[in-house]
Structure 1
Amino acid sequence: MSATGRGMLGCGMGKRFMERFETESLALMPGQKVQARVLSHHPWGVVVEIVGYENVGLSVSIDTIQQFSQTTSSYDELLALFPPVGSRIDAVIEQIHRWHPPVSVRLSIRPGDLESLVRSCDFCGEPITLGPGGDALVLDSRSSDGPGSHTLISHRHCLAERIRPENGGERARAWKIGTMH
């Protein structure tokens, strides 16, 4: 930490600045596979907790009706897709919103999403695969003067092409991020 940073911490400004962003959920991103424990059933779906993030203060849900209502033929068939309370299930993070506490996470348990989550690029609108083998970048944007953040999903080339040509280092990093071993 720089001398300026230490000075800010000493005067109390740094503490306010340091606590402005919730950081524990930053390890979670769209396309990431997780284990979830089902806590309760609701008319629209289930409330769950992500295993390993139980004490982070997340609001986590699976909208079972939205995910399966078009593929089932009866209400009973749809209800049978609700995982039992207390069970542990495989899921994939579909959306994460960090606008304000608590961080809101929407999971998917669709078999196709568990194999390969496909969403639209927030720049070009074309399909993009999140997770292994995909070309997606997950961008978290934050303001320098307030809490919260917003998650964007982008093709690698969509981000690289939007960086000014004279900023070649950042363009090169956009092409390489996540591919370095």
Structure 2
Amino acid sequence: MASDRSAPPALALPVPGTPVRAVVTGEHPWGATARILGHEGVPASIDAAAMESPSGAPIALPEERPRVGEEVDAVVQQLRQWSGPGWVRLSTRAADLAGLRWRCDFCMAWTVLGPGGDGVVMEVRAAGGPEAHSVVAHRDCLLGALHPESLERARVPKVGRGG
């Protein structure tokens, strides 16, 4: 089976917890579609539940949502890349912009992705094709899953911390 090498590699895509700028390209009852600046070939969306609601509603009211053409600050919530260029789910909530909270795929407790957070994102890929999947984990959960003799145990605590 030939792989589609025209899709961008997962490492070129923004991972969960990454702050981005996006332009709203479409309004929908469930939220909005968007284009991430610097990653124009990757489709993105913002669910109404992931938009800031000044009224305090759990889901942003239609009048609170960004309009087509509006540029917004966002953070990557999820990345899916099963075929083609992938799909990115964004959040514009202020709390997520400060530090995205997401469930650890090992223990299911909340972890914080972003500066000062205790979470990391792993890209799971195979050599046979362009598909990729992001796994979110606490650093400690990942360390606990690695074999005690793995050289990667020394690297995990340093990822994203400049060391």
Q: What is the TM-score when the length of structure 1 is the normalising length? A: 0.78
| Superposed displacement of residue 144, structure 1 | 2.6
Superposed displacement of residue 42, structure 1: 1.0
Whole-Å separation in 1 of the counterparts to 2:95 and 2:152: 34
Q: For 1:117-161, what per-residue CA distance to the aligned partner results, in whole angstroms no more than 9, with x for missing partners?
A: 101110011110000010111100112323301100011111111
**Contact 1:121-1:155 at 8 Å conserved across structures:** yes
Q: State how far apart, in whole Å, the 1-side matches of 2:72 and 2:6 are.
A: 33
Conserved? CA contact 2:10–2:123, under 8 Å:
no
Cα gap change, 1:176/1:25 in structure 2, threshold over 3 Å: closer, same or farther? closer
Distance 1:90 1:125, change over 3 A: same
2:95: which partner in 1? 112
Match of 1:152 in 2: 135
Residues 89-121 of structure 1: per-residue CA shift (max 9 Å, x gap)? 101111110111231101001121111210111
Q: CA deviation at 1:61?
A: 0.6
Tell me which amino acid in the other structure corresponds to 1:147.
Answer: P
Partner of 2:141, secondary structure, is helix
C-alpha spacing 1:21/1:157, structure 2 compared with 1 (3 Å)? farther
Among candidates 34, 37, 58, match of residue 42 of structure 2: 58
Out of 10, 31, 56, the residue aligned to residue 45 of structure 1 is 31
Tell me by how many angstroms 1:18 deviates. 8.8
Distance in 1 between residues matched to 2:71 and 2:141, nearest whole Å: 37
Query: 3-state SS of the aligned residue for 1:91?
Result: strand
- List aligned pairs for 1:26-45, cutoff 5 A: 26-45=12-31
Q: Confirm or deny: 8 A CA contact 2:119 2:136 kept in the other structure.
A: yes
* Number of corresponding residues: 160
Other-structure match for 1:138: 121
Identify the structure with bigger relative contact order (alpha carbons < 8 Å, sequence gap 6+). 2
Q: Which structure's residues are more often strand, by fraction?
A: 2
Q: Secondary structure at the match of 1:179?
A: coil
Q: Is the 8 A contact 2:13 2:39 kept in 1?
A: no
Q: How far, CA to CA, are the matches of 1:122 and 1:24 in structure 2?
A: 19
Match of 2:156 in 1: 174
1:163 corresponds to 2:146? yes
Give the fraction of aligned pairs with identical amino acids, expressed as a percent.
39
Q: Secondary structure at the match of 1:129?
A: strand
- What's the secondary structure of 2:26's corresponding residue? strand
For structure 1, which runs of at least 5 residues remain unmatched after alignment? 1-15
For the aligned residue pairs, the C-alpha RMSD in angstroms reads 2.5
Structure showing greater radius of gyration is 1
SS at match of 1:174: helix
AA aligned to 1:93 is V
